A and B are shown apart, each in its own frame.
Chain A
Amino acid sequence: MTTTTAVSLRGVTKKYADVQAVAGVDLTIRAGEVVALLGPNGAGKSTTIEMLLGLVKPDQGTVQVYDGTPVEAIAQGTVGVMLQSGGIIEDAKVGELLNLVAGLHKDPMPVEQALERAGIADLAGRVMKGLSGGQKQRVRFAMAIIPQPDLIVLDEPTTGMDVESRRDFWASMHEETARGRTVLFATHYLEEADSYADRVVLMRQGRVVADGTAAQIKASVSGRTIRATIPGADLAALASLPGVRNVETRGEVVLLQCADSDNTLRHLLENTTAHDIEVTSADLEDAVLAISDQVKEQDKAQETLA
């Protein structure tokens, strides 16, 4: 029997002193998905991850990883974890450290293979202390894949990496997802969520405020923009099309903001002389900012009511 649900959080909350770090999160991750947990600092990403790893107990709600509790999943070695910082022994050699971690698991991959996949085969004999931040992150990545886990959890994996090592890192990561592993990574880099995740879960103030593919999230906010050259366009008619929110012109070029770009596009092609048509979505950053603003407005409205 195969389980199709890798992670399931139900109504999970966590409060630290006066801070409601996580305020009711429902999240289901299916096996094989690559999910980005996106949000600003303090959005509750790390606490959510800590709860799904069993490091922190939720105040309310349940967490299930595959068929059991997080602690059970960890004990079985089905979860590989890459923490944001620390979590290594500074005076150990890279090879020693990986050997040690391999020895803690039931069915580890050979250390050489882990080194290879993380792109650090040449660092095996080096002491951790002397490595750069990016190199240490790669060691952490090797530590995460060594148990041959079904689920890999990464908390801000590319923090402190330069652009090039970030790209290399995601290339290594891609090989793992290609092997069918389920991946959850927290990030505050929109671009990473956009490029590497099948699904983006946007968190803000301890809640999930958007959940879908990057394309869906972008579209949910501002829809898409159609840019077309339409000589002698009837602007009033275009503005009255269903789903069109805004019409702008720049000479003969018309910009249409629409909720349902497919329908608008069909209309343009059938009924107008529109040519040189481009359809673009807002980038993820616009979307995230817009969603965040909406959430802020809602919170304000609620406060006024209360």
Chain B
Amino acid sequence: MNRNYLIFDIRRTMRNRRVLIFSILMPLVLFMIFGLTIPKDASEGGISAIAYVMVSMAMFGSMSAAMSSGGVIAAERDGGWNRTLRLTPLKPQAYVVNKVILSLLLAIPPLLCVFAFGMIFGHVHLSLTQWLTVAAVSWLGALPFAAIGLVIGYIAKPDSVQPITGLSTMLIAAFGGLWLPVDQMPSIMKHIAQLTPAYWTGLTSRSALTTGGVDTQALLVVLGWTVVLGFIGLRRYRADTARA
């Protein structure tokens, strides 16, 4: 990790507020549509339905925010910036780790906002430990999406990175059961859902609501996704800078 670079990236992101605001507004709006309209006593798999939707939307928000770092990478590639970096002592791993940390930071505001909404307007009541566990697990759940952002950043051109990110966010969220519970879909959908990292991140986050603990198997799948995608991102970084 390179601290200067991280500060630089944060400043740059703050200047480009559109992405940040969009990543917060989108899950909030969805939460209002799908969450606040639910009767208070409804439940889904032993969890109050509104808490279920809250966690899903928070996950959705943090995941789309985390993936938006792909736009930063695509823009840097387009300008030949990666080539400049190759001509400095910065190690490829440090670049990739930096962008993953940036993604994780971007994932925090939507998480917090959706949780605050759920607490205030959705009247979701959780113990402090549950809040903290859900927040921590949901935050870590952004990791595989940070890695997806990395990969998209290397595959897409700057002008196509937004639609590609948008489309993949929606597909992953929809098929991964973040918008509608997988249990309410035909069983084939459950098999498809299991192929997306979102299913597993949703599972880990919600496990904190029911048991107070964390589904370790799901967490391992999430970390597995992160490692594999992160590795692909690293490979792409090296290949990409070899000759631009």
| Contacts from A to B (Cβ < 8 Å) | 50, 53, 55-56, 74-77, 79, 81, 83, 85-92, 96-97, 99-106, 143, 147
Residue from the list B84, B88, B243 in contact with A77, Cβ < 8 A: B88
Given contacts A92-B12, A96-B8, A104-B4, contact A86 B88 (CB under 8 A): no
Instruction: Pick the 10 closest A-B CB pairs, nearest first.
Output: A103-B4, A86-B80, A87-B84, A104-B88, A81-B87, A100-B8, A87-B80, A104-B90, A75-B89, A86-B79
**Residue among A56, A86, A100, A147 with max Cβ neighbours from chain B (10 Å):** A100
Q: What residues on A are CB-neighbors of B15 within 8 Å?
A: 91
Q: Assess A74 versus B83: contact at CB under 8 Å? Given A89-B76, A100-B5, A103-B5.
A: no
| Chain A residues, Cβ within 8 Å of B80 | 83, 85-88
- Whether a CB of chain A sits under 8 angstroms from the CB of B11 is yes
With A75-B89, A96-B11 given, name 11 new contacts (CB 8 A): A55-B242, A74-B89, A83-B83, A85-B80, A86-B81, A87-B79, A87-B80, A87-B83, A92-B12, A101-B88, A104-B2
Q: Evaluate contact between A79 and B87: CB separation under 8 angstroms.
A: yes
Q: How far is the CA of A143 from the CA of B88 in the complex (A)?
A: 10
In the bound assembly, the distance between CA atoms of A103 and B90 in angstroms comes to 9
Asked if residues A56 and B88 are in contact (CB atoms below 8 Å), the reply is no
Q: Are B84 and A92 in contact (CB under 8 A)?
A: no
Interface of chain B: mostly helix, strand, loop or mixed:
helix
Give chain B nearest CB distance to A78 CB in angstroms: 10
Q: How far is the CA of A224 from the CA of B162 in the complex (A)?
A: 63
A144 to B88, CA, bound (A): 10
The answer to whether A89 touches B79 (Cβ under 8 A) is yes
- Range of interface residues on chain B? 20 to 34
Is B3 at the interface (CB under 8 A from chain A)? yes
Interface string of B62-104 (1 = CB under 8 A from A): 0000000000000110011101111111100000000000000
- B187 interface residue per 8 A CB criterion: no
Let me know if B37 is at the binding interface, CB within 8 A: no
Known A56-B242, A103-B4: A77·B89 in contact at CB below 8 Å: yes
Docked complex Cα distance between A101 and B84 (Å):
9
Q: In the complex the two chains form, is B89's CB within 8 Å of A104's CB? A: yes
Most chain B beta-carbon contacts within 10 A, residue among A77, A103, A147? A103
Q: Which residues of A contact B89 (CB under 8 A)?
A: 74-77, 104-106
A-B contact pairs, 12 of them (CB 8 A): A55-B83, A56-B243, A77-B89, A81-B84, A81-B87, A90-B75, A96-B8, A99-B4, A100-B8, A103-B5, A104-B88, A143-B84
User: Which of chain A's residues have a CB closer than 8 A to the CB of B127?
Assistant: none
Decide if A105 touches B243 in the complex (CB within 8 Å). Answer: no
Task: Output the nearest chain A residue to B11 by Cβ-Cβ distance.
Answer: A96
Q: Given that A83-B80, A99-B8 are known contacts, is A55 also in contact with B86, CB under 8 Å in the complex?
A: yes
Question: When the two chains form their complex, are residues B243 and A100 in contact, meaning their CB atoms are under 8 A apart?
Answer: no
* B8 near A91: Cβ-Cβ < 8 Å: no
Inter-chain CA distance A96–B13, complex, in Å, is 13
Closest to B85 in A: A104
User: Which residues does chain A contribute within 8 Å of B3, judged by CB atoms?
Assistant: 103
Query: What are the residues of chain B within 8 A of A96 when measuring CB–CB?
Result: 8, 11-12
Question: Which of B4, B80, B84, B241: most chain A Cβ within 10 A?
Answer: B84
Check if B184 is an interface residue, CB within 8 A of chain A.
no
Question: CB of B216 within 8 A of chain A?
Answer: no
Residue of B nearest to A146 (CB): B88
Could you tell me the distance between the alpha carbons of A101 and B83 in the complex, rounded to whole angstroms?
Answer: 13
Complex Cα gap A55–B82 (Å): 11
